[in-house]
DNA sequence: CACGGACTACCGGTATACCGGTACCAACAA
DNA sequence: TTGTTGGTACCGGTATACCGGTAGTCCGTG
């Protein structure tokens, strides 16, 4: 029985390339690709999926948020996070969201295959440079979780869209809520974080990993 | 006769995956991979290379600098730039450095194959979203090549203060000029970069190194 | 059950950003 | 000379951010 895999990454080129690589493995079957979180959720509602490899740094709904929602719908799916960075906060947030694996793109592709093998059996797998970062975090800072969860899921979502340069009106359209509601989220975010303008919010979003450093179409 | 290709990208996983994809083409032969600019220059000194696909966003020596040095040593090699973003400045800088192609990772992998085909014949190739960005720049400014979109020292200074979350009034105080002047700088910066709000300016500042990722207040 | 948290939504108001234009001056280049 | 670039400064106008309050629903917990 082949494993059904879905790839989620905003870079089509990366998805295609990764598909070519994974399909060289006889027991792996890439059944679908998604360019963003919305597409991913649509896909897992439509077909049988065993494992999802998801990029953390996607615009719109990011990988962590997407993981949270995906597992709420289909808790049986195994999620492996992919990221350009071995950022502690990323790893912690993703594991809290329910993912089983975490591999950086700087690692060899064999690491991803190893991760797939592990999570398929329900085990956790962190690639070497990530597990090192997490271990040091656990030694020095025991309450990382608290700071990571000051913001609610909805607030993180709004924050990411603000940091991507959208106005409250556009964010409201995107989330299918009223602009006034977005304004409320905006103020609550600023109050919780002690920030007072878009520049500071953007810096926070990038630094905390809610928003990727780079954006498309600049 | 097969085309000898070298891949340069700091993400090993991306390199491996891209290799798997390119090697499905019968006339392409990936002869080497490089994780940074230094390794790339070493490789092209050692073996026959026709085409180099190089990532712009590599740490250390970036793709543009590496392209410049590579072509100084081996002007016959065709260079294709790969990037996560369709940043005008990157495109211009890379073309000035002597590259023939530019493809974003958001595009389909077919775009890369198309670019390889074009540059092999000595022709230029820009993928659609990139040529769109360049075209929009041409509408505003006819003289692109002469570093038209470089910011002046004063503008960089203003941009940094904007990205730190200051208002135009505060920036004016800090620089001992009128707020109206700061507004002019602000608009000129946005026009040059093709950006339209503080969030995008902040991202650009962080991304371009004008502003550090971390700030005291955060 | 009552309570709080999260999310939703609206009201009003002020501050600031954003966009367009014009203008003067100094330094420098064609 | 004339033209160009960078820096300075102001005008008017609209859009959006930012700040304060109130209030309804839903949902999970004590």
pLDDT tens, position by position, B184-197: 999 999 988 888 99
Nearest protein residue to nucleotide C20, judged by CA and C1' positions: B187
* pLDDT value at residue A213: 60
Nearest protein residue to nucleotide C5, judged by CA and C1' positions: A152
Nucleic acid strand D within 7 Å of B143 CB? yes
Please answer whether residues B118 and B125 qualify as being in contact, where contact means their C-beta atoms are separated by less than 8 angstroms: yes
Q: Which residues of A touch B200 (CB under 8 A)?
A: 165, 215, 218
Q: Whose CA is closest to A22, among A98, A100, A115? A: A115
Please answer whether residues A56 and A65 qualify as being in contact, where contact means their C-beta atoms are separated by less than 8 angstroms: no
pLDDT for A217 beyond 50: no
Length of chain B: 218
**Gap between the Cα atoms of A163 and B199, Å rounded:** 5
B19 Cβ contact partners less than 8 Å away, ≥ 6 residues apart: B7, B30, B33
More confident residue, B169 or B157: B169
* pLDDT value at residue B126: 87
Nucleic acid strand C within 7 Å of A38 CB? no
* pLDDT value at residue B215: 40
pLDDT for A22 beyond 90: yes
More confident residue, A34 or B36: A34
Nucleic acid strand D within 7 Å of A184 CB? yes
Inter-chain CB proximity B162 and A11 less than 8 Å: no
How many Å apart are B178 CA and D18 C1'? 23
* pLDDT value at residue B134: 64
User: Residue B68: phi, psi to the nearest 5?
Assistant: -60, -45
The dihedral built from the CA positions of residue B140, B143, B149 and B151, taken in this order, carries a sign that is negative
**Gap between the Cα atoms of A57 and B105, Å rounded:** 14
Q: CB count, 10 Å around CB of B136? A: 11
* pLDDT value at residue A149: 47
pLDDT for B49 beyond 90: yes
pLDDT for B201 beyond 60: yes
**Gap between the Cα atoms of A57 and A11, Å rounded:** 10
Inter-chain CB proximity B106 and A199 less than 8 Å: no
Inter-chain CB proximity A165 and B203 less than 8 Å: yes
Query: What value does the mean pLDDT take over residues B9-37?
Result: 92
pLDDT tens, position by position, A115-128: 999 999 988 888 88
pLDDT for A148 beyond 70: no
Per-residue pLDDT band for A58 (boundaries 50, 70, 90) equals confident
Nucleic acid strand C within 7 Å of B192 CB? no
pLDDT tens, position by position, B130-163: 776 665 555 444 333 333 347 887 888 899 889 9
Shortest CA to C1' contact from A201: nucleotide: D17
Inter-chain CB proximity B84 and A165 less than 8 Å: no
A141 Cβ contact partners less than 8 Å away, ≥ 6 residues apart: none
Q: Which residues of A touch B107 (CB under 8 A)?
A: 12-13
Q: Per the structure block, which two tokens stand in for A173?
A: 């359209």
Per-residue pLDDT band for A178 (boundaries 50, 70, 90) equals very high
* pLDDT value at residue A216: 41
Task: State the count of interchain CB pairs (< 8 A) between A and B.
Answer: 150
Alpha carbon separation from A214 to A3, A90, A180, B144, B181 (Å, rounded): 33, 16, 28, 23, 29
Query: What value does the mean pLDDT take over residues A27-49?
Result: 92
3-state secondary structure chain B: CCEEEEEECCCHHHHHHHHHHHCCCCCEEEEEEECCHHHHHHHHHHCCCCEEEEECCCCCCCHHHHHHHHHHHCCCCEEEEEECCCCHHHHHHHHHHCCCEEEECCCCHHHHHHHHHHHHCCCCEECHHHHHHHHHHHHHCCCCCCCCCCCCHHHHHHHHHHHCCCCHHHHHHHHCCCHHHHHHHHHHHHHHHCCCCHHHHHHHHHHCCCCCCCCCCC
Query: What value does the mean pLDDT take over residues A64-88?
Result: 83
How many Å apart are B184 CA and D12 C1'? 15
Please answer whether residues B114 and B128 qualify as being in contact, where contact means their C-beta atoms are separated by less than 8 angstroms: no
Per-residue pLDDT band for B167 (boundaries 50, 70, 90) equals very high
Please state the separation of Cα A20 from the chain's center in Å. Answer: 22
**Gap between the Cα atoms of B14 and A167, Å rounded:** 34
**Gap between the Cα atoms of A116 and A98, Å rounded:** 15
* pLDDT value at residue B198: 96
Please state the separation of Cα B192 from the chain's center in Å. Answer: 16
Q: How high does pLDDT run on average in chain B?
A: 82
Per cent of chain B over pLDDT 90 is 43
pLDDT tens, position by position, B83-130: 887 666 677 777 777 888 899 888 888 899 999 999 999 888 888 877
A172 Cβ contact partners less than 8 Å away, ≥ 6 residues apart: A178, A179, A181, A182
* pLDDT value at residue B33: 95
Q: How high does pLDDT run on average in chain A?
A: 83
Per-residue pLDDT band for B3 (boundaries 50, 70, 90) equals very high
Q: pTM of the entire structure?
A: 0.65
Q: Whose CA is closest to A85, among A214, A172, A218? A: A214
Residue B4 β-bridge partners: B29
Residue A142 β-bridge partners: none
Q: Which 8-state DSSP code applies to residue A151? A: S
């Amino acid at each position: 029985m082949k494993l059904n895999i879905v790839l989620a990454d905003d870079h089509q080129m990366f998805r295609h390339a990764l598909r070519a690589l994974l399909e060289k493995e006889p027991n792996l079957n890439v059944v679908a690709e998604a360019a963003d979180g919305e597409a991913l959720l649509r896909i897992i509602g439509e077909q049988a999926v065993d494992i999802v490899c998801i990029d953390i740094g996607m615009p719109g709904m990011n990988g962590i948020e997407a993981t949270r929602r995906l597992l709420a719908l289909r808790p049986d799916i195994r999620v492996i996070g992919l990221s350009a960075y071995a950022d502690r906060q990323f790893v912690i947030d993703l594991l809290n969201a329910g993912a089983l694996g975490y591999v950086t793109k700087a690692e060899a592709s064999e690491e991803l295959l190893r991760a797939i093998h592990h999570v398929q059996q329900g085990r956790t797998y962190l690639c070497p440079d990530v597990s090192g970062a997490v271990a040091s975090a656990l030694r020095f800072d025991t309450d990382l979780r608290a700071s990571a969860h000051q913001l609610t899921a909805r607030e993180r979502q709004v924050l990411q869209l603000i940091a991507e340069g959208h106005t409250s009106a556009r964010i409201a359209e995107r989330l299918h809520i009223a602009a006034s509601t977005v304004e409320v989220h905006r103020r609550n975010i600023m109050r919780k974080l002690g920030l007072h303008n878009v520049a500071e919010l953007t810096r926070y979003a990038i630094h905390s990993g809610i928003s990727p450093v780079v954006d498309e179409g600049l």
